[in-house]
Amino acid sequence: MAVTTSQVSNVAIGTAELLPLQAAARTGAEAILQLLVACGIDYVFLNPGTDTAPIQEALVALAADGERVPTLVPCLFENVAMAAAHGYFLVTRKPQLVVVHVDVGTQNLGGNVHDAMRGQAGVIVLAGRSPYTVDGRAPGGRDRSIQWQQDVTDQIGIVRGYVKWSHELARVDTLHHLIPRAVQMAASEPCGPVYLTAAREVLMQPPEGERVDLTPARRAVPVVTSAGDPLALEKLAGWLARAEAPLAIVGTLGRHPQAVAPLVELAELLGMRVVDTRGPLNLPFAHPLNVDDSNAAIREADVVLMLDVDVPWIPRHVTPAAGTRIAQIDIDPLKESISLWGFPVDLPIQADSSKALRGLVAAVTDAATPADRQQWATRRARYEAHHAAQAQSRATALETLRHRRPIAAEWVGAALAERLPPRSIVLDEMITSSDAVRRYLARQTPGSLLSAGAPGLGWGLGAAVGARLAAPDHTVVTLVGDGSFVFGSPVAALWAAQQAQAPFLTVILNNAGYNASKMPVLGLFPDGASSRANAFPGVRFSTPPDYAMLARSCHAYGERVEDPDELGPAIERGLAAVRAGQAAVLDVALTPI
Ligand SMILES: Cc1ncc(C[n+]2csc(CCOP(=O)(O)OP(=O)(O)O)c2C)c(N)n1
Ligand SMILES: [Mg+2]
């Protein structure tokens, strides 16, 4: 049979039909903003400096003329700006603008640029760069000593390994090509950050006729992705149809919430279990085909389908059996940006999984005989029974866990699950508490659970600001470790939330240190000196900061929770503060590491 090409098409990010052909622009900075607005950019997350002054001026001057400008979100630390744009992108798939000072502002984007790259988040970063001229003739030329110090040999090199594309905007008369190109690049899959620099002379130079051509901005639409080669999908359907133990391993498929339904359909049709690695929600948590013990499932599988996953298993811990057929559907099957990537794949298919899965479901349906269907239904019933027993033992365990003191991470998940309103988005930067919390939080709705998709800590707070701006009718809750909370520049993030009227609830899983940095010491040296002396340099926070007080100093609600019976009421107080427009931080005391 022929696999039909999916009808799903990419969403245009601009407002193409409504655009005028040209816009007024007295300076290069005004031209850039006009172009970005024409490309659908709604927000600018800004940390300014000497060389971004023309952009700051353009925001005010254009607004005074009644022109539309991106809404400003002031960020007191650059990693908050980067994470906020990332969070906004995950909800909307629309890149936003991050403006930072020169090389130093770029360096402060820090690990959150890594997150945007690995998490495939489209973000436009625009950094100033030292002025080109020193003689005083060109407007914007150097007038401060720092402009020599900040004139480094390779500013773009700071982020080159972490961006999809970069460019030094050196001329005003090419901005109308380059800005839409930057937006298209960021928003096309695999999405990612792009990095632009512009010197003040360019930002201040008047475009010809003091107008900028907006026509290219009409075409800043993401590249239409493929639904996958029909023959390859048919072949894969044949493998799956004849499998004894088919298994899907899923990474970031759920970045397209519409991909979850066809995954569920495929899994239910085949009685195929699904390993959901710790990314966005790929499968409703309570789905009976959701695998708890992924290593055992991988060992048993005879056909594995990898779906948008960077690391399907850790070879040191488990590998599929030798004869297992392994297929892959991925927007980026080669993983070019990962130096050592050697997972064996017999059938790598480049495709947008949200589209390809529909074709795959159709192909499997077509290939199914009544005997197949009978066999798949039996298999599904067996897994469902197993899952029901697990769910029962989880519920039994919770009866004890909900009263444990110090508070159990599992109870944090369950207490939230009992109280979060239906329209909630949860962000996960919890590190070692994540599995326990996720198991009891049991997110169900596609698009309602987000993660950085990468290990650069300091993402969860800024990303919550962006997610809330993108979904103002949703309750946004960010779950972080105590280490991650501090990495997230809480003063800057909570203040940005207040300024941008983007309140969210933060729950800190506070184990008084970096558990993730303690565990490798025990793992590599189980009987080593650290283990024997119970001494772990750099990982325990003795006399930790008072995070609730810190929150209050940033105009947020803040509360420390030590009593498990108080956890539920505290969550309600936090949610009430958020409903009233105030950010809230609950510092939940877990067992110290
Ligand atoms: C920017 C950055 N710095 C350092 C690390 C290394 N690192 C990984 S996990 C971790 C500790 C996280 O602590 P916390 O958020 O409290 O979570 P826990 O491990 O205690 O569960 C550290 C320091 C990192 N991933 N990113
Ligand atoms: Mg911790």
Give dist(CA 72, CA 56) in Å, integer. Answer: 10
**Tell me, what amino acid is at 565?**
D
User: Of 395, 386, 446, which is closest to residue 418 (Cα–Cα)?
Assistant: 395
Q: Each residue of 81-105: pLDDT tens digit?
A: 999 999 999 999 999 999 999 999 9
Write out the DSSP string of 140-204.
T---STHHHHT--TTTGGGTGGG-SEEEEE--GGGHHHHHHHHHHHHHSSSP-EEEEEEEHHHHH
How far does the centroid of ligand 1 lie from the alpha carbon of residue 483, in Å?
A: 6
Give dist(CA 444, CA 283) in Å, integer. Answer: 8
> In degrees rounded to 5, what are phi and psi of residue 486?
-70, -40
Q: Which residues of the chain have pLDDT under 50?
A: 1-14
Strand partners, 126: 99, 196
Give dist(CA 259, CA 359) in Å, integer. Answer: 12
Question: Which atom of ligand 1 has the smallest separation from the CA of 111?
Answer: 1
Which residue's CA is the closest to the ligand 1 atom numbered 21? 432
Pairing of strands 246-250, 273-276: parallel
Give dist(CA 388, CA 377) in Å, integer. Answer: 16
How far does the centroid of ligand 1 lie from the alpha carbon of residue 519, in Å?
A: 11
Question: Which atom of ligand 1 has the smallest separation from the CA of 429?
Answer: 15
CB neighbourhood size of 321 (10 A)? 12
Q: Please tell me the predicted confidence (pLDDT) of residue 20.
A: 78
CB neighbours of 254 closer than 8 A, spacing ≥ 6?
260, 279, 280, 281, 282, 283, 446, 447, 449
Helices 370-401 and 434-441: crossing angle, nearest 10°?
A: 110
Q: Please tell me the predicted confidence (pLDDT) of residue 17.
A: 57
Q: Each residue of 223-278: pLDDT tens digit?
A: 999 999 999 999 999 999 999 999 999 999 999 999 999 999 999 999 999 999 98
Pairing of strands 505-510, 303-307: unpaired
Question: Which atom of ligand 1 has the smallest separation from the CA of 518?
Answer: 19
- CA 35 from chain centre, in angstroms, equals 26
Q: Which of 108, 109, 514, 518 to mutate to test the pocket of ligand 1 (most atoms within 8 A of CB)?
A: 514
Give dist(CA 359, CA 294) in Å, integer. Answer: 26
Count of CA atoms in the C-beta half-sphere (13 A) of 256: 26
Which ligand is located closest to the Cα atom of residue 458? Answer: 1
Give dist(CA 343, CA 325) in Å, integer. Answer: 12
Q: Please tell me the predicted confidence (pLDDT) of residue 9.
A: 31
Q: Which of 107, 457, 459 to mutate to test the pocket of ligand 1 (most atoms within 8 A of CB)?
A: 457
How far does the centroid of ligand 2 lie from the alpha carbon of residue 36, in Å?
A: 39
Which residue's CA is the closest to the ligand 1 atom numbered 9? 516
**Structural tokens at position 263:** 């995954």
Residue 327 near residue 226, CB atoms below 8 Å: no
**Structural tokens at position 400:** 């004890």
Q: Please tell me the predicted confidence (pLDDT) of residue 4.
A: 31
Q: Sheet with 424-429: list strands edge to edge.
A: 449-451, 424-429, 475-481, 505-510, 584-589, 557-561
Burial of 372 (0-12, 13-18, 19+ CB in 10 A): middle
How far does the centroid of ligand 1 lie from the alpha carbon of residue 280, in Å?
A: 19
Question: Which atom of ligand 1 has the smallest separation from the CA of 510?
Answer: 16
Per-residue CA distances from 556 to 240, 276, 448, 501 (Å): 52, 34, 24, 12
Write out the DSSP string of 423-486.
SEEEEEE-GGGHHHHHHHH---STTSEEE-SS--SS-HHHHHHHHHHH-TTSEEEEEEEHHHHH
User: Of 227, 232, 439, which is closest to residue 352 (Cα–Cα)?
Assistant: 227
How far does the centroid of ligand 2 lie from the alpha carbon of residue 508, in Å?
A: 9
Give dist(CA 503, CA 501) in Å, integer. Answer: 6
> In degrees rounded to 5, what are phi and psi of residue 554?
-105, 25
Give dist(CA 221, CA 539) in Å, integer. Answer: 46
Pairing of strands 211-213, 22-24: antiparallel
User: Of 103, 126, 114, which is closest to residue 163 (Cα–Cα)?
Assistant: 114
Give dist(CA 277, CA 250) in Å, integer. Answer: 6
Question: Which atom of ligand 1 has the smallest separation from the CA of 482?
Answer: 16
Which ligand is located closest to the Cα atom of residue 519? Answer: 1
pTM, to two decimals? 0.96
How far does the centroid of ligand 2 lie from the alpha carbon of residue 547, in Å?
A: 13
Q: Which of 107, 412, 429, 432 to mutate to test the pocket of ligand 1 (most atoms within 8 A of CB)?
A: 432
Q: Please tell me the predicted confidence (pLDDT) of residue 473.
A: 98
Q: Which residues line ligand 1 (CB under 6 A)?
A: 111, 431-433, 455-458, 481-484, 487, 511, 513-517
Q: Within the chain, how many helices (H) and strands (E) appear?
A: 22, 19
How far does the centroid of ligand 1 lie from the alpha carbon of residue 455, in Å?
A: 8
How far does the centroid of ligand 1 lie from the alpha carbon of residue 454, in Å?
A: 12
Which ligand is located closest to the Cα atom of residue 435? Answer: 1
Q: Please tell me the predicted confidence (pLDDT) of residue 18.
A: 64
**Tell me, what amino acid is at 479?**
L
Residue pointed to by tokens 């001494």? 535
